[in-house]
Structure 1
């Protein structure tokens, strides 16, 4: 009996030892600490806090093998400094929009939001199952940036502007100073609007001091968070300039390649979950904010006339022609996206019910 007890205890010790070894060998036994700089204040709903949720998911699912330190834009010298900081290895990763890099890579905004462009479904389809992500990575590689790019957030349509006065036609736009993002800014410049790109925290003070007369920023829930309803009472739709918006996680390529495959998979899964959650939250949370803007804050929700939408679309066609003539890669990406959308239309036009406005 003593012999059996000894054997039993020995097996128990060996078994627990095996369990401990398995636990410590999870994710290759590698402990990873990632510093991620966000281009958006992480207190902003969806736009900013999605990266916080994603970081929490990575830490929990890795059982502590991966820890994340989130940094606000000011921690790295502002959002414009993020790409260089990641590429050089100063920080491990950056979260934001490719549209911020238009001055460095003309095609970059096409991977974030496109005027009169695809909604979230076809945009993601082109990215993940067309040539989108391949071209996206190629853009960074060809420009000499040492980064790996992942898609991590998708936003539904934005509002297309907050104005202090009603805009009835293109004459009312002339001479305005306006915060505007991406390729939509080029369109507004065609309408004789002077544009500038400001971070979220800079917009309200700029409006208050008269540095700008009008602004667009994001969806109603995010615009409300920074108080735009207090300072401009005319909110225009639809968001012709951003029917959907994709946000990226760029990771220093050496850091990415040195991660265990299991940790790479966890980061990719966390990004994919963020895509689903950000779109669902974005779609679910706008109508109540719009009701509040009207009923509590006396905001007037306006819809652009067909005349104005046609003017914007004509200006966009001019911008596409100009950018395609200046940059070969812009032309290549635009043609690839356009072909995908043309082919997708066969499915879309037959599979979906026509929309009816009530």
Structure 2
């Protein structure tokens, strides 16, 4: 056989193998399962870092699966009210929901430790605890009783501590305030004499405008600006002692999750990890612009004096200890977080430059 003939046979073999491989790949794509989920949201989809990751998640999953995995999300109230998302997913009314899990603290006391707790970790340490420590495993155990598979799907940094008619100079300034305040921080303010209520983000502006509340917190500067809170109150209190971070989670009905192919589950898990990173970047990019805009508009962005923060921390620890004494799972999660924060502090304290090192004109 001549060299030319041998090359011709080789080329034919390569072409045949290529066609077979392509055919198999096409067959695998066609054989992939179709996922079509309706996903109710707890917050409007345009809130930077808080809910914008769900758009990234939806678009990424559709692209990487060649259209086999499609998550269609719905604005708050279109399918179910924000406070009812967990129950809707648990019962299978909807296959999944994207929510701030702190809304369900009345049913599951430990959840605010996952959605954003006072004087807790900052995002980098939290991600280490969640992915490499006990965090994810404990959360999955919490939700197993409610037939839900949870996935971290967004994280942003500290919130503002709220919008107040007057500056906060000491703890007595909280006494008597009618305030919208979320999570464990709300329990702390109740101990200080405030009348705390919880209303969805989309209703805060109207509540302030109608003076049914005197003060409020919601989220970070850029998100609060989207809600127009600066149009009503001009005293913005920082830092967000009550939530050193905020998360959102994709909750999936466990029966639905269990029927998915392993490859599909892996894609959705990776999609949420990607969305978490994307949302954090979006959030960090947006906050300084919002604060500078506040300055131009005459908003007084007050930083709480350290003595006030120390007193708030003492009050917070009492509340946390009381909650831990009343609920076993709360105690397990809190103990795990405290142990990790102590462990991580040697790196955090020595490895990073001090905050006051960064001084700019």
TM-score of the superposed pair, with normalisation by structure 2 = 0.91
Give secondary structure in 2 for the equivalent of 1:118: coil
Q: Within 5 Å, which residues of 2 pair with 1:90-239?
A: 90-141=93-144, 144-239=145-240
Distance 1:158 1:107 in 2: 20
Q: CA deviation at 1:32?
A: 1.4
- Asked whether the 8 Å contact 2:113–2:333 carries over to 1, the reply is yes
Matches within 5 A, 1:14-25: 19-25=22-28
Superposed CA offset, 1:142-193 (max 9, x none): xx20111111101011100111222222222211111111111111111211
List per-residue Cα deviations over 1:279-323 (Å, max 9, x = no partner). 11211111111111110x210110111221122111101101210
Deviation at 1:353, TM superposition (A): 2.1
Which residue is 2:303 aligned to?
303
Provide runs of 4+ in structure 1 moved above 4 Å: 11-18
How many equivalent pairs are there?
Answer: 349
Query: What secondary structure does 2:356 align onto?
Result: coil
Change (3 A) 1:160 1:27: farther
Is the Cα–Cα contact under 8 Å of residues 178 and 195 in structure 1 kept in the other structure? Answer: yes
Q: What SS does the aligned partner of 2:289 have?
A: helix
Out of 34, 38, 44, which is 2:47 matched to?
Answer: 44
Residue 281 of structure 1 is matched in structure 2 by: 282
Quote the Cα distance in structure 2 between the aligned partners of 1:343 and 1:52: 35
In structure 1, runs of 5+ residues without a counterpart are 1-7
Q: Classify 1:349/1:307 alpha carbon distance in 2 versus 1 (closer, same or farther; 3 Å).
A: closer
Instruction: Tell me whether 1:72 sits opposite 2:72 in the alignment.
Output: no
Q: Please give the alpha-carbon distance, in whole angstroms, between the structure 1 residues aligned to 2:114 and 2:23.
A: 45
8 Å contact kept, 1:220–1:286: yes
Please say which of residues 102-111 and 46-55 is displaced more in the overlay.
46-55
**Does the 8 Å CA contact 1:94/1:251 hold for their aligned counterparts?**
yes
Cross-structure match for 1:5:
none
Q: C-alpha separation between the residues in 1 aligned to 2:147 and 2:333?
A: 21
1:343 corresponds to 2:346: no
Of 242-251 and 231-240, more deviation after overlay is shown by 242-251
Following the alignment from structure 2 to structure 1, what is the Cα–Cα distance between the partners of residues 223 and 247? 16
Q: CA RMSD in A?
A: 2.1
Partner Cα separation in structure 2 for residue 274 and residue 298 of structure 1:
34
| 2: CA distance, partners of 1:342 / 1:309 | 19
1:14 Cα offset (Å): 9.7
**Alignment TM-score, normalising by the size of structure 1:** 0.92
Counterpart contact for 1:178–1:214, Cα < 8 Å: yes
- For residue 94 of structure 2, give the secondary structure of its aligned residue in structure 1: coil
Contact 1:27–1:263 at 8 Å: present in 2 too?
no
